[in-house]
């Protein structure tokens, strides 16, 4: 009986110590996951701060709002290259939906693989741009445009999907119920 009491009195502190070690490990794992999640959100926000204005510039250019008249076609083509690089670099940090929605917007706005050594072409009409250009229109810019123009409404919808994917991945409220654009 004495041995049982002695063993029991020894086992209680050992069990409490083991439980304490277990709780400490779980707490540390939780803290690490929280830290990692916070760092991921911070990085996603930095990518958002970098990419969102460029996506907005594309939206403005293709839907004829904002400063679309001040942007040259070669600049938009260069912007595509910059955006491509940024979304491919950021892809591991975001969901597949975000990456796919970015590629969808890019494919709506640009015709790629137009020939060896040729730049991508803009899927929009050049005539309204030429007529509205506030400076001297360069006729060479007309070669920057595709024969297939995208409907601005499709660009708006695709842009909204990109912004919703950003919102979802960053962990802020969903903007799906919020209409970014008026119906036209």
- Give the per-residue pLDDT at 135: 78
pLDDT tens-digit profile of 12-48?
787 878 878 888 787 878 777 788 788 888 999 999 9
Angle CA(163)–CA(169)–CA(173) in degrees, nearest 5? 70
- Give the per-residue pLDDT at 51: 95
- Give the per-residue pLDDT at 94: 94
**Cβ–Cβ under 8 Å, residues 159 and 59:** yes
Whether residue 176 has pLDDT greater than 60: no
Token pair recorded at residue 54: 């460029």
- Give the per-residue pLDDT at 24: 78
Whole-model pTM over 0.85: no
Orientation angle between helical segments 2-63 and 96-109, nearest 10 degrees: 10
- Give the per-residue pLDDT at 87: 95
**Cβ–Cβ under 8 Å, residues 174 and 164:** yes
| Cα within 13 Å of Cα(81), Cβ side | 8
- Give the per-residue pLDDT at 183: 44
**pLDDT-based confidence at residue 182 (cuts at 50, 70, 90):** very low
pLDDT tens-digit profile of 121-169?
999 999 988 888 877 889 999 999 999 999 999 999 999 999 999 999 9
pLDDT tens-digit profile of 84-135?
999 999 999 999 999 999 999 999 999 998 888 888 999 999 998 888 887 7
Report which DSSP code applies to 171. Answer: T
Least reliable range by pLDDT among 25-34, 53-62, 158-167, 173-182: 173-182
Domains of the chain, by residue range, sit at 51-170
DSSP 144-167: GB-SSPPPHHHHHHHHHHHHHHHH
């Amino acid at each position: 009986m004495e041995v049982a009491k002695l063993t029991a009195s020894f086992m209680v502190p050992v069990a409490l110590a083991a439980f304490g070690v277990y709780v400490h490990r779980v707490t540390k794992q939780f803290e690490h996951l929280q830290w990692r999640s916070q760092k991921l959100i911070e990085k996603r926000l930095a990518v958002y701060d970098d990419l969102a204005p460029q996506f907005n510039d594309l939206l403005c250019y293709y839907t004829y709002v904002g400063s679309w008249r001040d942007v040259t076609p070669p600049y938009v083509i260069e912007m595509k290259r910059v955006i491509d690089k940024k979304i491919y670099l950021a892809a591991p940090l975001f969901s597949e939906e975000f990456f796919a929605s970015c590629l969808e917007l890019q494919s709506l706005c640009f015709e790629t693989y137009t020939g060896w050594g040729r730049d991508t072409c803009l899927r929009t009409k050049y005539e309204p741009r030429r007529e509205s250009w506030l400076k001297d229109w360069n006729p060479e810019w007309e070669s920057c445009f595709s024969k297939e123009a995208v409907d601005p409404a499709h660009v708006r919808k695709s842009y909204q999907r990109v912004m919703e994917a950003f919102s979802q991945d960053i962990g802020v409220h969903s903007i799906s119920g919020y209409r970014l654009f008026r119906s036209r």
